[in-house]
């Protein structure tokens, strides 16, 4: 078993107790309160405790000249990962529909562990893809996956299709 969530273990521990409990209103109230509290505690743990497959090794910092980005190593895959690296200035206001401009420089180290916003999209009729509302015009970011500790390797760039209708950098194209 690669990972086991706290919630699954807690729920497994709870099921045998609940199946033998008398079904009086008081027992149901206690059981309901227990499950409600368990769900709340599990939600609170998501940022504190991660399954073993999600454990991250010490950070990986890359200096791009205009900013430093702190990624992480995924122990389960053996990959160094950086998500949400800005590659151009936000294409908003006067920069809307203009060629990309260099991003602003910063001396701060930016945490690169979460995907950035997707670009605004219009759902194409009959595509079979679910509607995903939202998006942000400030969406000129990229994600990088590299073998652990790799340096000087060639880079493959993949830009998803979708014609402003669907697709984004979160899609897993590994299969």
Of the given ranges (62-71, 116-125, 137-146), which has the lowest mean pLDDT? 116-125
Name which of 1-15, 41-55, 60-74, 132-146 the model is least confident about.
1-15
Interatomic CA distance for residues 111 and 69, integer angstroms: 6
Mean pLDDT value across residues 100-126:
87
The backbone torsions φ and ψ at residue 21, rounded to the nearest 5 degrees and listed phi first, read -80, 145
**What span, in angstroms and rounded, lies between the C-alpha atoms of 113 and 1?**
25
Q: Structure pTM?
A: 0.61
Q: Enumerate residues 6+ apart whose C-beta is below 8 A from 72.
A: 56, 57, 59, 60, 80, 81, 113
Residues 6+ apart with CB under 8 A from 45: 6
Q: Which residue has the tokens 């970011």?
A: 141
Please give the Cα distance from 164 to 28 (Å, whole number). Answer: 50
Residue for token digits 């990986």? 60
Q: Which residue has the higher pLDDT, 89 or 7?
A: 89
Continuous segment of H or E residues that includes residue 8:
helix 6-19
pLDDT digits (tens, 9 = 90+) for 75-101: 888 899 999 999 999 999 999 999 999
Q: Which two tokens stand for residue 98?
A: 């203009």
- End-to-end CA distance of the chain: give it in Å, rounded: 22
d(CA 47, CA 114): 13
| Cβ contact 45:6 at 8 Å | yes
- Rounded Cα gap, residues 104 and 90, in angstroms: 9
Looking at residue 132, its pLDDT comes to: 64
The structure tokens listed for 88 are 């151009």
């Amino acid at each position: 078993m690669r990972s086991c969530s706290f919630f699954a273990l807690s729920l497994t521990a709870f099921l045998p107790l609940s199946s033998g409990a008398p079904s009086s209103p008081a027992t149901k109230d206690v059981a309901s309160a227990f499950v409600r509290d368990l769900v709340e505690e599990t939600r609170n743990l998501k940022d504190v405790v991660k399954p073993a497959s999600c454990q991250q090794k010490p950070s990986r910092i890359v200096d791009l000249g205009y900013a430093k980005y702190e990624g992480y190593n995924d122990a389960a895959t053996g990959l160094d990962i950086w998500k949400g690296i800005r590659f151009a200035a936000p294409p908003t206001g006067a920069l809307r529909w203009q060629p990309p401009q260099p991003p602003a420089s910063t001396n701060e180290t930016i945490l690169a562990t979460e995907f950035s916003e997707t670009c605004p999209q219009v759902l194409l009729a009959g595509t079979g893809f679910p509607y995903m509302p939202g998006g942000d015009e400030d969406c000129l970011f990229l994600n990088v996956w590299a073998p652990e500790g790799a340096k000087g390797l060639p880079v493959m760039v993949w830009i998803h299709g979708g014609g402003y209708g669907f697709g984004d950098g979160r899609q897993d194209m590994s299969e």
